[in-house]
């Protein structure tokens, strides 16, 4: 799953051309232990209704080779 979170929204980017936006509130817990860093996201609220949508007609600006 590909997603982005902020303090106000969850953006579902599973479909690269059609992003769904939900109300959401979450925060990250960052743990630093010796030379290791961990990040855990905790969700406070996750709305179930789509509140907006973003159409992304052109995704050619991303070089697919970076995912290999």
Q: Please list, residue by residue across 36-46, b when 16 or more beta carbons sit within 10 angstroms of its beta carbon and e when fewer do.
A: eeeeeeeeeee
Within 10 Å of residue 24's Cβ, how many Cβ atoms? 19
- Model confidence pLDDT, tens digit, residues 3-18: 444 567 889 999 989 9
Q: Which two tokens stand for residue 9?
A: 């929204």
Domains of the chain by residue range: 3-56
Within 10 Å of residue 10's Cβ, how many Cβ atoms? 20
CB 45 within 8 A of CB 5: no
How confident is the model at residue 7, as a pLDDT? 64
pTM surpassing 0.85?
A: no
């Amino acid at each position: 799953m590909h997603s982005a979170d902020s303090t106000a929204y969850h953006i579902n980017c599973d479909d690269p051309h059609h992003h769904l936006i939900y109300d959401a509130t979450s925060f990250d817990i960052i743990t630093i232990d010796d030379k290791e860093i961990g990040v855990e996201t905790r969700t406070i609220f996750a709305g179930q209704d789509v509140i907006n949508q973003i159409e992304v007609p052109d995704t050619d600006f991303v070089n697919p080779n970076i995912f290999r």
